[in-house]
Structure 1
Amino acid sequence: MHKEGSAVVSETGRSAQPGATLAAVCAAISLVPVVATGAGVALPGISADLHTSLASAQWVVNAFFLTFASFMAVTGSLADMIGRRRMFSAGIAVFCTAMVIAGLAPHITVLVGARVIAGMGAAAVLTGGSAVLANTFQGAARARAFAVYGTGIGLGLAFGPLIAGVIVTSLGGWRVFFLAAAVILLPVLAFSLRLPDSRDVHPAGIDWRGGILFTAGLFMLVLCAIEGPAVGWTKPLIIASCVAAVALLVAFVLVERRTDHPLIEISLFTERRFVAICLMPVLLAFGFVAPLMVLPQYFMAVDGASAQSAGLLMVLMTGPTLVLPMLVGTLSRHVSQRSLLIVVLALTALGAGWLTVLRPHLGIVALAGPLIAIGAGFGVSLAFLDGAAVASVESSRAGMAAGVFNTMRLGGESISIAVLGAIITGVTTARLHATLPAGQADALTTKLLQGDPSGVTAATADGAFSAYTSAMHIGLWSVCLLAVLGIVGILALTRETPETIENNVVPEEMTVEGVSR
């Protein structure tokens, strides 16, 4: 619910129909997950063309997520100060420039650097775009707009790897993939300059100390999550990075409490509904994004599926993200926000627990139910979470709220992928150590988790696939348990909220539609 006293100024001299504004934002938003998730498909080609190891090429993906997550809060707060449309347009320009550099990169260092810049641009696109929508639409129209916005993200998630695979294998390779992203966004950039702008009427200047501390702290935290499982949590570099992350983030909180105009107002986290909303993308990162990253490798290693076949199988999981945001948007006036939060986590828990039926050569019919359930939970969330985050604070802090929410989303995704990967790696390796020499067990685990069955022999197949499957089961049960604990947490954080509006005791602003007013 918006607080009194919020002050937002809108520019005159620019005009665009709300529908055109929504189309421009969604066009840009849908391409970000395509480039984010699709880059993984290009790694073998990048490694071969630039004569680097696959481990080094992996930083093409890691570098993007590092800056994407780290710059969310900074770009969100800057959007409130300099203008939401300006931040959105600047983000597209930076992103396009980075994609051109990536497509022309002569060396892996240049490519990784371009992806670092692309992550910064993507952060500005996401925070600026959602803040533009929050200030363009009101009431029921805002709820519908964010349902379309969620569908745009779903489109990118659903078809990103498939689009990347087609371009990389059939239409010119990884360079064309990056260059195409820039070309596609150029018309959106040109049109975005015509959109009306809005900003805080009393901009307070930039909190440089807070921005540097927060960005550096989150950067170190995500770096630990990415590199810890790969090099070992006890390595001095990882320990030092974790200590630095904690120290920087503690210093950030102390600085923000004494700053008149902070990058992130710590008081946001005293609002229980905002905390509940920000908790959701972290839980969903474990429930949807991390399984989306690890399941294709399982199908390729254990079932011998091709990358394309594994990707098509995952459409069972990503498909609901295309349909449900709009459907939930049309039903929003009949369901409270609290109810939908619980439904999302219940579907996630159901799907993750159900997917423990996973075993070698399990048919598509048996896989369909749990994969669809997981996808349905995420699809429902796309209909309302972004809108709920920016609507839970006054309009002057819409960019800040979007930045915090998307920081939780991207940080959660990076950490969840690393944690689930560490669980699967650890359990698989431990099981294989019981039957194989340590060196052989470690090498076989590495190949399996990359989706490569070439290290499996007739003598080791049963043990290897059994170990990998057991590890997947433990990982999925962990996801299920986390979703159940999430339900308990959400119920506690929103316990003052009635469950439905049909008994006439639910405040209008707590419905999915009303929360956007």
Structure 2
Amino acid sequence: MDGGERGYWVTVVAVACAAMLLPFSVTGAAVALPSMAAHLGASADTAQWMLNAFNVTFAALPLAAGGLADRFGRRRVLLTGIALVGGSSLLVAVAASMPVVDAARAVQGCGAAAVLASGAAVLAHATSGRRRQLAFGMLGTSFGTGLAIGPLAAGALVDAAGWRSVFLLVAAVSVPVWLCATRAPESRDTDQPAFDLVGPVCFTAGLAALSSAFVRAGGAGWTAWSTLLLLGTAVVLIALFAVVELCLAERAMFDVRLFRRPEFLAVVCQPFTVTLGFVVLLVYLPAYLQGVGGRSVLSSGLILLPMTTPVLLLPLAAGHLAARSSVRAVLTGASALIAVGALLLVTVHSDGSWTALALPLLPFGIGVGLAFGVMDNAAVSTVPVQRAGAAAGIFNTMRITGESVAVSGAAALLTTLAAARLNDSGLSSGEAARIAGQAVQGHVAEAHRAALAAGLTSAVHTLGLALAALSALGAVLTHLALAPTTSRQERTRG
């Protein structure tokens, strides 16, 4: 094997392994959260920020990180991102308090955003032709692998060595990944417009306010003045972000003008109908099964296999299926399958058999696996070729933003619904919200187990109905928006 061939594989393996750490940092952390919160004596609100802090910075910063990579070097930003992910994970592993964990997770999200933005750019500039197709195929597979093995691997680690081992694993793996990434070729774009700083600040602050509102709603209620103030702040900041990006035009971090295309709008909204429910189930179903179901961490991870395995196996097959039929057919069918799986969540009970729990998870996983195989390509195929880079950046931002909103919003919804059942048993609103918030994270008070089991099961059913309605709507809108037209075909050719 010559030096060029060896350098190619070292680069691809480094980027793919770095990318695998990102979904594992979401799903693995969610599995470790119940044990972590109990050990550190964290309140439900503080513990929830262990997930939210990572998700907010991860969602808000990829486009900004991409701009920095173009200016200062894509390999340099990749190495910085890997170091932040690994170093922050080590800090979480040795932390003695939840505020330290939350702060470290926010920094880890920044590193994850840098890896996401620069890793794809490194591959794009280091490969071409069939090698590029292979490299990006491996990149997509690595994301699916991280999602698929995350709950199971983290469950085994927590059962065998405690919650800290999940984060120690990420820190340990990041070292050889960083060393491999040093072999990647450096590249940069010296002809760049002025950096858009206001946009990332508004977007990050808006997401943080929205996540804070969801956390506050779980404890104080949706109509509390503090919740409404945070929601209003989030709306103002996101609106300000849109105005700033429109005014900046060619210098904008986020080209909102692309949203004028109905077909592009339909594709970039796919993450909200595809990954929203998937991530919610990955994060909160294990805690539900551990808390009110009394299952072990490993057992709850195994139950997720019918949903996670198709995400690992189907993306490549989905590409071939789309080539034989159409992207429109695959995405519409994927949303329909997710709607079926979400609707079947009304059959879920914490003490149900593995088969009963697999019934809704399997169609859910098949739908997500099919969508993952074609969404990225669809995002860049619905715009002129010269806007493909901007489209890919927007799509990834929307995907991770959807996941961030889903994790924080679902926690608030599940807490609110479970607390309502506890209110009926005579507890005060504040006490009911506190106990329900802990139950959502897997801690169930024995004195209230029956009420919590009924409340959380009912909340999961309600969540399933909401996801089913959203996915069914997404299937219809996708089918209509992606209908082939002559003018669209001419536009995408340039």
**TM-score (ref. length: structure 1):** 0.83
- Residue 446 of structure 2 corresponds to 455
Answer yes or no: is 1:470 the counterpart of 2:461: no
Residue 431 of structure 1 deviates from its aligned partner by 4.2
Residue 123 of structure 1 deviates from its aligned partner by 0.7
Q: 1:99 and 1:394, CA in 2 relative to 1: closer, same or farther beyond 3 A?
A: farther
Residue 382 of structure 1 deviates from its aligned partner by 2.1
Give me the whole-angstrom Cα distance separating, in 1, the residues matched to 2:288 and 2:39: 27
- Residue 25 of structure 2 corresponds to 35
Give me the whole-angstrom Cα distance separating, in 1, the residues matched to 2:387 and 2:72: 13
Read off the aligned partner of 2:288 and give its amino acid letter: Y
Give me the whole-angstrom Cα distance separating, in 2, the residues matched to 1:442 and 1:240: 20
Give me the whole-angstrom Cα distance separating, in 2, the residues matched to 1:384 and 1:452: 38
Read off the aligned partner of 1:21 and give its amino acid letter: T
Q: 1:400 and 1:195, CA in 2 relative to 1: closer, same or farther beyond 3 A?
A: farther
Aligned 8 A contact 1:350 1:480 in 2? yes
Out of 407, 412, 415, the residue aligned to residue 397 of structure 2 is 407
Q: 1:495 and 1:184, CA in 2 relative to 1: closer, same or farther beyond 3 A?
A: same
Q: 1:374 and 1:140, CA in 2 relative to 1: closer, same or farther beyond 3 A?
A: farther
Residue 114 of structure 1 deviates from its aligned partner by 1.7
Out of 249, 256, 265, the residue aligned to residue 255 of structure 2 is 265
Read off the aligned partner of 2:185 and give its amino acid letter: P
Q: 1:135 and 1:341, CA in 2 relative to 1: closer, same or farther beyond 3 A?
A: farther
Residue 482 of structure 1 deviates from its aligned partner by 0.4
More helix by share: 2
- Residue 83 of structure 2 corresponds to 93
Give me the whole-angstrom Cα distance separating, in 2, the residues matched to 1:122 and 1:151: 17
Give me the whole-angstrom Cα distance separating, in 1, the residues matched to 2:255 and 2:390: 8
Aligned 8 A contact 1:393 1:401 in 2? yes
Residue 121 of structure 1 deviates from its aligned partner by 0.5
- Residue 101 of structure 2 corresponds to 111
- Residue 122 of structure 1 corresponds to 112
Give me the whole-angstrom Cα distance separating, in 2, the residues matched to 1:100 and 1:270: 44
Give me the whole-angstrom Cα distance separating, in 2, the residues matched to 1:448 and 1:506: 49
Between 1:158-167 and 1:338-347, the stretch displaced more is: 158-167
- Residue 192 of structure 1 corresponds to 181
Out of 338, 346, 357, the residue aligned to residue 348 of structure 1 is 338
Q: 1:216 and 1:156, CA in 2 relative to 1: closer, same or farther beyond 3 A?
A: same
Out of 62, 68, 71, the residue aligned to residue 58 of structure 2 is 68
Match runs of 1:88-487 below 5 Å = 88-136=78-126, 145-171=135-161, 173-200=162-189, 202-259=191-248, 260-359=250-349, 361-389=351-379, 400-434=390-424, 436-438=426-428, 445-446=436-437, 448-455=439-446, 461=450, 465-487=453-475
Between 1:86-95 and 1:471-480, the stretch displaced more is: 86-95
Give me the whole-angstrom Cα distance separating, in 1, the residues matched to 2:452 and 2:37: 27
Between 1:371-380 and 1:399-408, the stretch displaced more is: 399-408
Read off the aligned partner of 1:409 and give its amino acid letter: R
Paired residue total: 490
Give me the whole-angstrom Cα distance separating, in 1, the residues matched to 2:461 and 2:47: 29
Give me the whole-angstrom Cα distance separating, in 1, the residues matched to 2:134 and 2:322: 9
Q: 1:376 and 1:179, CA in 2 relative to 1: closer, same or farther beyond 3 A?
A: same
Task: Show CA shifts across 1:399-433 (max 9, x none).
Answer: 64444222212221122233334443333443454
Task: Show CA shifts across 1:4-62 (max 9, x none).
Answer: xxxxxxxxx99865554332221111111112221233335544655544543433222
Between 1:466-475 and 1:278-287, the stretch displaced more is: 466-475
Aligned 8 A contact 2:271 2:399 in 1? yes
Residue 319 of structure 1 deviates from its aligned partner by 1.4
Task: Show CA shifts across 1:479-516 (max 9, x none).
Answer: 10100111122123222359xxxxxx996999xxxx9x
Give me the whole-angstrom Cα distance separating, in 1, the residues matched to 2:295 and 2:96: 33
Read off the aligned partner of 2:15 and give its amino acid letter: V
Give me the whole-angstrom Cα distance separating, in 2, the residues matched to 1:272 and 1:135: 30
Q: 1:185 and 1:199, CA in 2 relative to 1: closer, same or farther beyond 3 A?
A: same
Give me the whole-angstrom Cα distance separating, in 1, the residues matched to 2:218 and 2:121: 35
Give me the whole-angstrom Cα distance separating, in 1, the residues matched to 2:422 and 2:40: 34
Find the residue that maps to 2:269 and give its secondary structure.
helix
Find the residue that maps to 2:192 and give its secondary structure.
coil
Give me the whole-angstrom Cα distance separating, in 2, the residues matched to 1:482 and 1:467: 23
Task: Show CA shifts across 1:213-262 (max 9, x none).
Answer: 23322332333234433433333333222222222222222222222512
Aligned 8 A contact 2:314 2:366 in 1? yes
Find the residue that maps to 1:206 and give its secondary structure.
coil
Give me the whole-angstrom Cα distance separating, in 2, the residues matched to 1:450 and 1:388: 36
Give me the whole-angstrom Cα distance separating, in 2, the residues matched to 1:213 and 1:108: 27
Between 1:295-304 and 1:385-394, the stretch displaced more is: 385-394
Find the residue that maps to 1:383 and give its secondary structure.
helix
Read off the aligned partner of 2:367 and give its amino acid letter: G
Residue 353 of structure 1 deviates from its aligned partner by 1.3
Read off the aligned partner of 2:366 and give its amino acid letter: A
Read off the aligned partner of 2:106 and give its amino acid letter: V
- Residue 476 of structure 2 corresponds to 488
Aligned 8 A contact 1:76 1:401 in 2? no
- Residue 501 of structure 1 corresponds to none
Give me the whole-angstrom Cα distance separating, in 2, the residues matched to 1:118 and 1:447: 24
Give me the whole-angstrom Cα distance separating, in 2, the residues matched to 1:268 and 1:216: 23
Answer yes or no: is 1:79 the counterpart of 2:49: no
Aligned 8 A contact 2:63 2:253 in 1? yes
Residue 475 of structure 1 deviates from its aligned partner by 1.4
Give me the whole-angstrom Cα distance separating, in 1, the residues matched to 2:129 and 2:333: 23
Give me the whole-angstrom Cα distance separating, in 2, the residues matched to 1:127 and 1:391: 19
Gaps of 5+ in 1: 1-12, 499-504
Read off the aligned partner of 2:224 and give its amino acid letter: K
Give me the whole-angstrom Cα distance separating, in 1, the residues matched to 2:171 and 2:213: 31
Give me the whole-angstrom Cα distance separating, in 2, the residues matched to 1:215 and 1:441: 31
Gaps of 5+ in 2: none
Between 1:377-386 and 1:121-130, the stretch displaced more is: 377-386
Give me the whole-angstrom Cα distance separating, in 2, the residues matched to 1:71 and 1:22: 23
Read off the aligned partner of 1:245 and give its amino acid letter: A
Give me the whole-angstrom Cα distance separating, in 2, the residues matched to 1:429 and 1:174: 27
Q: 1:394 and 1:201, CA in 2 relative to 1: closer, same or farther beyond 3 A?
A: farther
Read off the aligned partner of 2:30 and give its amino acid letter: G
Read off the aligned partner of 1:257 and give its amino acid letter: L
Residue 330 of structure 1 deviates from its aligned partner by 4.4
Q: 1:465 and 1:250, CA in 2 relative to 1: closer, same or farther beyond 3 A?
A: closer
Q: 1:143 and 1:223, CA in 2 relative to 1: closer, same or farther beyond 3 A?
A: farther
Read off the aligned partner of 2:446 and give its amino acid letter: G
**TM-score (ref. length: structure 2):** 0.86
Q: 1:447 and 1:417, CA in 2 relative to 1: closer, same or farther beyond 3 A?
A: same
